[in-house]
């Protein structure tokens, strides 16, 4: 038997041939592979994901490029069971074949997601998500539905007691995860309805999607919608959103945030009131000052136009004129007196009495001065006026 000569090829040619065979095989161009993640690595620069899919018998290398990885709604971890969709390829430099993953979901979550989406649409059609009532601004009593020993309850108690210690808290314990959780939550809502509370806060701390599944229950959503008391949801962390969040009147990202939304901060209210009082006081004082200024101005005008003021002004003018007249009269009298004195001096100098004082006398008969001797007869009685005094005489002899 003649030996057939076998061609010799390079490693690259072999790997290239296998790569082309896999690439051209439609069975490997689009496939879905289920397995458990191991050897998981996220490249810190590129964001590409490198890992291995395992089952009980085999291992398959896998890569997910950054443009696909950033679309994931969860962070893959070692040990997680996932379903990867993509295509098979050969990495020629190493001769290793691997699956190029374009999409990934947790095993079993695909059906759950579909069920959840169908429930969302159903509840939306029924108007369960449209009820958004206003949360009371100043509640007197708040009902809290959560696990009795959970951290969420303690957070709510701490926030409420700090912000508004006058508010009464009524706690209705409920299972927040597990198969019995939906019925327990619904029962707690029924009890809270009878408590006379102004607001209901319900929720729990963060957790996985399975931990929060009770709040994706239809009966819980309908219990929230049926509540006559406004509700605040506080389920999980800020990134977690459940059907219960959508059904509530108000969604809070955390239990602590729910407590802050449910009650006012009395210290801030008191500070605002104090500022308002100061503003009102300043406004009133400003108004009073303004009115006082206006009143003073009006009083000044009234005083200026007042008849009494005019009389006072005229009276003052009269007093001034009277004083001026008095001074003028006094001066006039002084001048007249001086003139009179001068006239008296002149008259005195010409007065017969002054002449008499120089040694002369005046003879009077019957009150008339005698200037001629012929006016007298012997025996007549006459008065002789001297410079100082008067004498009486009888005519005994007459000489012409």
Q: What is the pLDDT of residues 39-80, one digit of tens each?
A: 899 998 899 999 999 988 889 999 999 999 999 988 898 888
> Is pTM, for the whole model, over 0.85?
no
Q: pLDDT digits over 135-178, tens only?
A: 999 999 999 999 888 888 999 999 999 999 999 999 999 998 88
Choose one of 264, 293, 325: the last residue of a domain.
Answer: 264
Domain co-membership, 258 together with 300: no
Strand order from edge to edge, sheet including 362-365 = 368-369, 362-365, 381-385, 390-394
String of DSSP letters for 277-314: HHHHHHHHHHHHHHHHHHHHHHHHHHHHH-HHHHHHHH
Is residue 212 assigned to a domain?
A: yes
CA distances from 27 to 15, 55, 90, 95, 99 (A): 19, 20, 15, 20, 13
Is residue 201 assigned to a domain?
A: yes
The CATH number that applies at residue 103 is 2.40.50.140
Domain co-membership, 159 together with 211: yes
Is residue 21 assigned to a domain?
A: yes
Domain co-membership, 183 together with 280: no
Is residue 128 assigned to a domain?
A: no
Domain co-membership, 260 together with 274: no
Domain co-membership, 175 together with 215: yes
Domain co-membership, 259 together with 291: no
Q: What is the dihedral of CA 300, 301, 302, 303, to 10 degrees?
A: 50
Please tell me the total count of domains within the chain. 4
| Domain extent at residue 372 | 355-394
| Partners of residue 364 on adjacent β-strands | 369, 383
Is residue 247 assigned to a domain?
A: yes
Domain co-membership, 106 together with 83: yes
Is residue 347 assigned to a domain?
A: no
**CB contact at 8 A, 211 and 174:** no
**CB contact at 8 A, 53 and 64:** no
**CB contact at 8 A, 236 and 258:** no
Helices vs strands, H then E, count in the chain: 11, 14
Question: What does the longest C-alpha to C-alpha distance in the chain come to?
Answer: 237
CA distances from 72 to 236, 325, 382, 385 (A): 20, 115, 167, 160
* Whole-number Å distance between alpha carbons of 334 and 340: 10
**CB contact at 8 A, 87 and 22:** no
Is residue 313 assigned to a domain?
A: no
Domain co-membership, 143 together with 255: yes
Domain co-membership, 258 together with 143: yes
pLDDT string in tens for the chain (400-residue length): 456 778 888 888 888 888 888 888 888 888 999 999 988 999 988 999 999 999 888 899 999 999 999 999 888 988 888 999 999 999 889 889 999 999 998 876 556 667 788 888 999 999 999 999 999 999 999 999 998 888 889 999 999 999 999 999 999 999 988 889 999 999 999 999 999 999 999 988 877 767 788 898 999 999 999 999 999 998 877 666 789 999 999 999 889 999 999 999 888 888 888 899 999 999 999 999 998 898 888 888 877 777 777 787 778 888 888 888 888 888 888 888 888 888 887 777 777 767 666 777 888 888 888 888 888 888 888 898 887 888 888 888 888 7
DSSP state of 63: E
Is residue 127 assigned to a domain?
A: no
The CATH number that applies at residue 188 is 3.40.50.261
């Amino acid at each position: 038997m003649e030996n057939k000569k076998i061609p010799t090829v390079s490693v690259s040619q072999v790997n290239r041939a296998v790569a082309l065979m896999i690439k051209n095989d439609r069975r490997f161009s689009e496939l879905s592979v289920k397995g458990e993640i191991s050897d998981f690595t996220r490249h810190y620069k590129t964001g590409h994901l490198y890992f291995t899919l395992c089952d009980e018998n085999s291992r398959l290398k896998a890569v997910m490029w950054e443009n696909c990885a950033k679309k994931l709604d969860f962070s893959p971890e070692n040990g997680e069971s996932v379903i990867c969709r993509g295509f098979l390829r050969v990495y020629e430099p190493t001769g290793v074949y691997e699956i190029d993953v374009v999409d990934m979901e947790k095993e079993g979550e695909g059906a759950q997601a579909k069920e959840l989406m169908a429930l969302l649409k159903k509840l939306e059609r029924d108007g369960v998500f449209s009820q958004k009532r206003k949360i009371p601004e100043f509640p007197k009593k708040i009902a809290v539905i959560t696990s009795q020993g959970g951290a969420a309850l303690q957070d709510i108690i701490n926030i409420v007691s700090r912000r508004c210690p006058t508010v009464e808290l009524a706690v209705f314990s409920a299972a927040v995860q597990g198969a019995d959780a939906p019925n327990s939550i619904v029962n707690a809502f029924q009890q809270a309805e009878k408590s006379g509370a102004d607001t209901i806060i319900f929720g729990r701390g963060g957790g996985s999607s399975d931990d929060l599944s009770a709040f994706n229950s239809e009966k819980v959503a309908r219990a929230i919608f049926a509540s006559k008391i406004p509700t605040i949801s506080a389920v999980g962390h800020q990134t977690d959103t459940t059907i219960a969040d959508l059904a509530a009147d108000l969604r809070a990202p955390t239990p602590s945030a729910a407590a802050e939304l449910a009650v006012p901060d009395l210290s801030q209210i008191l500070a605002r009131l104090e500022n308002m009082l100061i503003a009102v006081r300043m406004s009133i004082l400003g108004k009073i000052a303004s009115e006082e200024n206006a009143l003073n101005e009006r009083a000044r005008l009234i005083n200026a136009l007042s008849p009494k003021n005019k009389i006072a002004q005229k009276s003052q003018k009269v007093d001034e004129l009277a004083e001026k007249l008095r001074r003028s009269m006094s001066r006039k009298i002084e001048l007249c007196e001086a003139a009179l004195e001068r006239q008296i001096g002149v008259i005195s100098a010409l007065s017969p009495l002054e002449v008499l004082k120089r040694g002369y006398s005046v003879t009077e008969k019957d009150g008339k001065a005698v200037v001629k001797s012929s006016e007298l007869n012997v025996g007549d009685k006459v008065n002789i006026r001297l410079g100082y005094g008067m004498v009486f005489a009888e005519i005994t002899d007459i000489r012409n």
